[in-house]
Chains A and B, each alone.
Chain A
Amino acid sequence: NAGVTQTPKFQVLKTGQSMTLQCAQDMNHEYMSWYRQDPGMGLRLIHYSVGAGITDQGEVPNGYNVSRSTTEDFPLRLLSAAPSQTSVYFCASSYSNPSGSNEQFFGPGTRLTVL
């Protein structure tokens, strides 16, 4: 199992450009999420999905779009990049486990800089 993979690892954009951060997992997990990590603020939830075809907003969704056409993939789209979106982005996945705790598995992160 590769676990949760993210591409690219690093990206530099100019203000106004668009791009897609890729996330894939091979563990057949139902739940997937995108977080951003900023200095002094921990991780904050951007968007999440509870299954293929179902997505919803988290704490900080503005400026981002997501879709979930398959169980494996959960791309994050920046429509028009802004310097405020400079951050490290993490994708995570987990499964529903009624008898135990719900550990999230994180990808390695993407460091995005918007100039």
Chain B
Amino acid sequence: AQTVTQSQPEMSVQEAETVTLSCTYDTSENNYYLFWYKQPPSRQMILVIRQEAYKQQNATENRFSVNFQKAAKSFSLKISDSQLGDTAMYFCAFMKLFSYNNNDMRFGAGTRLTVKP
């Protein structure tokens, strides 16, 4: 079974600074996806960024980037130029590639990020 671990329950950062959220996972699979989801107080789950394990290049989406270390089974999220709107719960998630169930995601417990003005 796959497990996802987020070791930082809470973090804070000053507006405009950079913050990195950690995620590690355990799997025997070789082909999989990794995701970061954001959940603001509205409760809506919003996809931030995704990474295919077969791609060596780290994914980037505007101010969000990841550091994917496949051998170490590590998938951290870096938020640059933090904004007040980045305040949210962030979840790391794992999904097997070509899984029978396309929706079988395994989530970490989440990191609550607060951006301070």
Contacts and interface: CB of A to CB of B under 8 A. Distances in A.
Contacts of A90: 45
Nearest to A111: B43
Interface centre among A30, A33, A95, A96 (most CB of B within 10 A): A33
Given A101-B33, A101-B52, A33 B103 contact: yes
A23 to B, nearest CB: 12
B43 A42 contact: no
A108 B43 contact: yes
A93 to B, nearest CB: 7
A111 to B, nearest CB: 8
A72 to B, nearest CB: 16
Chain A interface helix/strand/loop/mixed: strand
Interface in B36-74: 42-45, 47, 50, 52
A90 B44 CA distance: 9
B4 interface: yes
Interface in B65-117: 91, 93, 95, 100-110
A19 B42 CA distance: 24
Contact of B33 (A43, A92, A102): A102
Given A30-B102, A42-B91, A42-B110, 13 more contacts: A31-B102, A31-B103, A42-B4, A43-B91, A45-B104, A56-B101, A88-B43, A90-B45, A92-B45, A93-B103, A94-B102, A108-B42, A108-B43
The 5 A-B pairs of least Cβ separation, nearest first, read: A42-B107, A33-B103, A106-B45, A31-B102, A43-B107
10 contacts: A33-B104, A40-B109, A41-B109, A42-B4, A43-B93, A44-B107, A94-B102, A101-B50, A108-B44, A111-B43
